[in-house]
Every structure is written in C-alpha cells, then in structure tokens.
Structure 1
C-alpha cells in the first residue's frame, strides 16, 4: 500500500468518515457515483469495485459488462455539504477491465492517454477554465426562467443573491483543495463566472466535475436553479468555458519565446495551427448538445469563425496579453468550449489537435486583428476564415470523418458518441417548438 492510500485510510478514521463516494464520468460527461463503507476501501484500492459497465452510457457493450472502478487516492476530499457527523468523502476512479487493463471508453482514461502521448514528447499539459453558468429563481414552470437579478458584466448588485452564491461556492471549493482565481457577474442577467486556477489537465477535468456538483449543491441550499446549459435565454449571452492552454517542458513554458511575435514560440504557433486546422472536427466534442450551437451562433462574444488573434475576443483562439517578464504565463485561449462539455474528452481532443500541429509542423496563418463578426462574408472568405459547424448535425458529420478524433477517443467511445449525438439531433428535429406555434398557428 502506498503513502497516499495510507493517508486516505488514516484521514477516514481520524475524521469519522462513514461513507466514501467513488466518482467517475460517463462518455456524455454525466457524473456517476457509488458509495462504499470504510471497511471496503482497502479492497477497492487493491482490486477495484465491480459494477455493470453496460448500464453506463457508452462505457462498454452488454457482453463486456463487468467493469472495475478503482479509486485514485490523490483525489480524496471530504464533501463539506454533507456535514461533520457521519462524514462523506469522495475519490475519482479509473475504470478498468476485469483483467486490470484501463477501459478504452473511460473518459478519464481517454485524457490520460493523450497526456501520456504529450509526456513522451516531453510536454506537460496545463489548463485553466473560465466557467460560466446562470442562476434562476426556483419559480413555477408557468413563469418560465426568471433570472435572480438583472445585473451585467462585472456589476456589483447591492445585496445580490449572486454575491452570496459565489462566496459560498468558492468557500466550498477551496475547502476541497480547489483553488479559485476570479469570480464575477457575467454579461447576462443572473449569469456568473468562476475561474479555476490552472493545473494539469487531468486535475482540472476532475475539478470541473467537482465544480458542477458544488454549484448544484449550493443552488439547492439557497433555493435557486443553477444551470450550465449553453444558451438558456434567447436574448442573452450563452455560457462558455473559455479555456487557457499551455505546454511545459519541465519548468520551461514551451509556448514562450521572448524573440517571437507576441513572445510566442514556434511550438506555440504550431499548437495554435493544429487547433485551427482541426477545429471543425473537434467541435462536436467541445460543443456536444443541440443547444450548444445557439450559443456559438448567438453572438455575445461566442466564436463562430476559425481564426486566431492577439487579444482579439472575436477569434476562436486568442493569445492573451501577459507581462513581458512573466514568460511562464504564456498561453493560448480556446474560446469555443461551453460549460456543458465533457472536460476529459474535450481536453483530450484539444491536446491532440495541438500536438498534431507540432508533429506535422503546421504553418500558422495570419492572425485576425479586426472584429471577425463585423466582417462581411466576402471579407472573411478573402482572408481564408472558415466557419465552425452551425448545428450538431453538421458537427457530427465532420467529426465522423476525423482520424484525429477517432484515434483520440478510441473506437468504442467514438462510435457511441456519434450514435448518441445522431439520436439527439433526430429527437430535436422532430420537436414542434413554441416559436413555430406562435408564428404559424395564427398565419396558416
């Protein structure tokens, strides 16, 4: 038994933890959980806990049903909202086959494989997400969605519910060892943003899953409705998860070159070129719901076009400004991700797209200095600026032909994801919407 496992067992005894929740994520990004008693934990560390994997979305096929959930002791944290007495803790799990091999369709394993590939090239992959979400009143369905306030970007709403909400959420996150960098009111009514401090991509993905749970728990405590739906309101901005990406070689930031344009190294430029060339292919993973495309094409600084720029917030990829003497902060920001994405799969395809650019020596096109949304179609065409997919159907059709995404996700996950998203599109397409009823019933 290693030191981390010993620390967990000792902490459980000292803190009177009665239940340990083993967390893992299905292919669609939904958090799953099974509780075990402390007496079962040593066995779980040694052999894992068996469960029916065929009952979890996309995890395995019926004739390969038996799977093992093996807890990662490095992710041990007490759940503060469960109270001090009869405490509850959680750990994330890696999913294994009965033979002890990593399950090919475990999203955490998908990201780990991509990070291992980067490590073979000497890189460690770091991410820093800016997570947006909406808070609505817990009103009756007849009232529709009623935002908790009418605030806007960076507004200080006197005695606002959002202040207390963000404070309680951040206090809970930090008590679980998850560092928060910024928090503020976003542009939409009732819309908020909390930014997590950068960490390696696997830790960040675990933190995002914990973050979503914490936000929902605090919402229940405060009798409000929290949602990560990409575009809940027609006339307000959608909720994105702009994510800052960087590669390190040991202590050195591989994206930093003091002599480069914008102090960006050749490695950083090739990484951006990979993100741009493969952007359309990875969009279905980064924006996996039919509603995601109403955010991407709904304005409000959502990126619709494949281009990059220095501090240009209309671009898909942005190179943020940073202090010249802080080369360690060199990074790129990918702006298409939304808050409902599966972070494990999304980070995996982003990493592999960037690595492909480095491996193949992709040339970075000219950056976009102007507002891309304000350009005409002819101007964008002249500059070679392509569009992102404008619907889940288009995104899935493009992803279907992508060798990069197929290789990253693995055959089983790739096929399940495509099948599930085709079904989602068909179900969505069959709906008769309120818009259609309002427009056509009186007129036709």
Structure 2
C-alpha cells in the first residue's frame, strides 16, 4: 500500500541517535514535502485510480505526484457517485479503537492539504501524565492538538453509514513530527525494517466476538442476553451484512462461523501483505459495532463471564517481492524452514513482553490460566505443529503454505501493535545466531526455554516489556514509557473499566 506519509520513514530513527534540533529540522522539512504532495494532488486531481491495493501491500513505497493526483480524481468520482455528505478522518488510539472527526464532504480537499486537528488526549488517553512516567521528548504539551493526515489509498465509502466515507490517517504533532505513540506509525516502521532485511509479511487476523441483545437501559449493572439466534446457519442477516460491508471497504473475509458459546462468532480475514491486515482489523472493530446496532444488538470482545475473546495473528514470512513463502521449502516439506525456525525462536524469546501488548488488560490474561486452579506466576510458552492449544501454532496445511498463528493475543489488543511487536520479535530471531530451534518431538527443552515464560499478572508483563531491550529499541522508548504508564493508570480502576467496556463497547 502506498502512502504519502511514508516520506517520513527515511528520517525516522531511534530517538537517541540524533539531537533534538536536527530531528525537528528534518521532520519539519519532510512534513513540508508531504503537504506539497497533498496540494499537488488536489490541484490537479483529474485522473482515475483503481480502488484495489497493490500486490505487495508495501507501505514504504513513496507515491508519485501522478499517483496522488489519480487518487484524488477517483475520490471525487466516488463522492459524486454516492452523493456523500461526510468523510470520517479516522486514527487508532492506543487501544485500537477508532477516534475520528467527520467533516462535510465539500471540505475534503482542503483537509487533505492541511489535515484535521484533534486533541492529543483523544489518542493517548492519560490526563496530565507525570514527568517521571512519560518521556516528553518531541512533545511541547500532552494537552496540545495533533494533526490527522489521510492516507488517500484507504478512502472507502462505508456501506453501514448513510452517505459517509472514511479515510485512515497517520498522526503528526503540530510541529510536523510523526506521533511516536501512534500504533500505525510504529507498525509501518517495523514493516520498513522487515523490507530492508529482504522480507515481507503476509498476515491476517482471526477474531472472536460476542453479540448481545440490547437492553432497555445500559449501565454498569445491566445483564445482556447473548443473541443465540446467530447460531442458526439459516438466520444470519447481521453477520452477512457485516461481511458484505467489509468486502466493499477492502477487508476480505475468508470465513465466519458460530463459536463455542451462545452468541459468540469467529471471523477470519484473507491474508494480505504489509499494513493492510492491520487496517482491515481496525476497520472491522468499528464496523461490527455499527452494523450490530442496525439489528438491535451490541457487540463486545468480552464474553459474558468477563473473559476476553481471542484475537489471533496468522502470518508467514515471504521474500520482498511476495513470491515465495520463506516458512516452507520448495520441496513441499511441511515443517518450518531454518528461516521459519529462527523467526519462531524470536517470538518465543520475547513472548513475555509480547504478551503485554497482545493481552493488555487483566481480563485478557485470564485466558492464559486455562481454568487452572494452580497458583502460578507464569506459564511456559508452547508451540507445536497443527495444535490449536499452543501459544504458537504452526499450520502446515492449506493453499497458503506454512504459517504461524500467534495466539497470545486477545480481541481487545490493538492490531497495529500486535503486528509491530510480532515483526520486531521475529526479526530479532532472524538476526541472532542462537542456533536452530528444536522441534517439540525432538525430546529437548529448547522449544520451551526459561525466558519464554508468560506472566499471568499484567503488572509482571509490564515489567517484562520494560526490561525487553529489543522491543524497547524497536517500538521506541517514548512509546514504551507511555504505554506502561497508561496501563498502570488503568489498573487503578480495573473493575470500573471492565463494566464500562462490556456494556458501552469501548474495549480496553
């Protein structure tokens, strides 16, 4: 996927490698280039563009001025054809929830040039963070505005919202710097690192979610009943409209089915290259709520017992051109290649820290107990071939070839952070010389090393994330400090948040 904001990638480096003054100067100059491209695209704006994504979903390729012009022409045609009245400028907050501003359609071209302003606190969610908790580097004020700059290739008419379209945005400070706590920005940085190493990521999310009948009054004590009618295969208008709507926004659903509990559904997306898989998951998280309301349902990533549903990232590593799956050999052998085993070793090594980003609330981590009554502080990370009970399940069947399902995640996790952390951990495995991972059936303990224990308490997972130097460097010191501070703040009001999340559909 091309992206005008990707001009920034060459100037984004670890915060400690440059002086603040030189960073500010470079990023401001880059922002000017981005604005020029936006301006050029809206002034010319008279060529058509296909609505489809490129073959690789490459988020690091800089679009040319004619490409931007072509996108604006297509958008104008779509707006006229669908008689659009409003366009949502959407960005993800740290929890993966859409934060948007809707603007009248006739202001769209102007906002493409200058961006849309939004209070910074909408995305970072901590009021007045303490100086000793959050690094204020590159931030004049955490109560200031940020700027939403749209990625034009993500413009889509929303089938479930009347005469409305949306465009996914990247976020900048008012001084022109990318917001270092932006999950989408962090994910794109990791995909850029992966491309520089000669690889691309082919991935898809698999989500469980629950559907409840809407009660007359919603409050913290309300009990909602599961919409068990969804278990009948002949009576699924809600899920069918959801899947069809997602298709028209570019998020292709491979399958959907009822799951193990009443009102619980599973939805599997088709894999895509690059940032597109996380964009699809982000789109789904908003779509499922809006379509459900049309049928007098509410949807939740929590189940009725307060546990979180699962959110799985199925992924495989391909060459940079997207032509060869690097997890399986040309001879057709099912087991992981040496490259695949190194990637998996990285996931195992960093699984404690990964779990903090993928199960980011106390309710999420209940899944790791597996209903065991043993008083433990952690559980070992497990992996195996074609075993759905493991944290990392290597699936060797199907037309897509060998792939790894990262099952550490809950459905409440931010998909961009899940993608970014998985890439960062996998890359570390590729770049280290720790030997080849042994298979579980080999009778060794190499597949469950001591450092792969998963903490059961969120507090311990936060500590593991803080101590993981690889992820700190990859995701950025600013993000790590802010994320940890936010989670500690949330732990102080855990019970209240759990009730609010379940019934008001805000998922933390």
Task: Place the TM-score, normalised by the shorter chain, in its bin.
Answer: 0.7 to 0.9
Alpha-carbon displacement from aligned partner over 1:365-424 (angstroms, at most 9, x marks no partner): 433369xxxxxxxx9999657531102111111111111222233222211110111122
Partner of 2:328: 256
Aligned residue among 246, 249, 272 for 1:199 = 272
Is 1:88 matched with 2:151?
A: no
Partner of 1:63: 141
Aligned in 2, Cα 1:55/1:338: closer, same or farther, shift over 3 Å? closer
Aligned in 2, Cα 1:362/1:382: closer, same or farther, shift over 3 Å? closer
Partner of 2:337: 265
Aligned-CA RMSD value: 3.0
Partner of 2:104: 37
Partner of 1:23: 90
Partner of 1:399: 465
Alpha-carbon displacement from aligned partner over 1:24-67 (angstroms, at most 9, x marks no partner): 01122221001122333223323322333245325985626242
1:199 deviates by 1.1
Partner of 1:157: 232
Aligned in 2, Cα 1:34/1:110: closer, same or farther, shift over 3 Å? same
Aligned residue among 255, 264, 268 for 1:182 = 255
Please say if residues 136 and 146 of structure 1, whose CA atoms lie closer than 8 Å, have aligned partners that are also in contact.
Answer: yes
Partner of 1:280: 352
Give the aligned length: 408
Alpha-carbon displacement from aligned partner over 1:316-349 (angstroms, at most 9, x marks no partner): 11111225xx5x5221111111111011111101
Alpha-carbon displacement from aligned partner over 1:275-306 (angstroms, at most 9, x marks no partner): 00000011111111111011222359xx9531
Aligned in 2, Cα 1:220/1:412: closer, same or farther, shift over 3 Å? same
Please say if residues 94 and 109 of structure 1, whose CA atoms lie closer than 8 Å, have aligned partners that are also in contact.
Answer: yes
Partner of 2:297: 224
Please say if residues 312 and 368 of structure 1, whose CA atoms lie closer than 8 Å, have aligned partners that are also in contact.
Answer: no
Correspondence 1:23-422 to 2 at 5 A: 23-57=90-124, 61=139, 63=141, 65-83=144-162, 87-139=163-215, 144-149=223-228, 157=232, 160=235, 163-229=236-302, 231-233=303-305, 238-249=308-319, 250=321, 251-258=323-330, 262-299=334-371, 305-323=380-398, 326=399, 328-368=400-440, 384=449, 386-422=452-488
The SS at the match of 1:82 is: coil
- Distance in 2, Cα, partners of 1:321 & 1:330: 4
Alpha-carbon displacement from aligned partner over 1:132-184 (angstroms, at most 9, x marks no partner): 00112223666624222288xxxx63655xx2222121121112222110110
The SS at the match of 1:220 is: helix
Please say if residues 437 and 447 of structure 2, whose CA atoms lie closer than 8 Å, have aligned partners that are also in contact.
Answer: no
Aligned in 2, Cα 1:144/1:380: closer, same or farther, shift over 3 Å? farther
Please say if residues 132 and 228 of structure 1, whose CA atoms lie closer than 8 Å, have aligned partners that are also in contact.
Answer: yes
1:268 deviates by 0.8
- Distance in 1, Cα, partners of 2:384 & 2:411: 23
TM-score by length of 2: 0.74
Aligned in 2, Cα 1:356/1:54: closer, same or farther, shift over 3 Å? same
- Distance in 2, Cα, partners of 1:430 & 1:220: 24
Partner of 1:5: 72
Partner of 1:442: none
Q: Where does structure 1 lack aligned partners over 5 or more consecutive residues?
A: 371-378, 434-444
Aligned in 2, Cα 1:383/1:171: closer, same or farther, shift over 3 Å? closer
Please say if residues 328 and 334 of structure 2, whose CA atoms lie closer than 8 Å, have aligned partners that are also in contact.
Answer: no
Aligned in 2, Cα 1:158/1:39: closer, same or farther, shift over 3 Å? closer
Partner of 2:36: none
The SS at the match of 1:192 is: strand
- Distance in 2, Cα, partners of 1:159 & 1:102: 48
Partner of 1:373: none
Question: Bigger shift: 108-117 or 358-367?
Answer: 358-367
1:98 deviates by 3.4
1:125 deviates by 1.3
- Distance in 2, Cα, partners of 1:345 & 1:331: 19
1:204 deviates by 1.4
Question: Bigger shift: 287-296 or 405-414?
Answer: 405-414
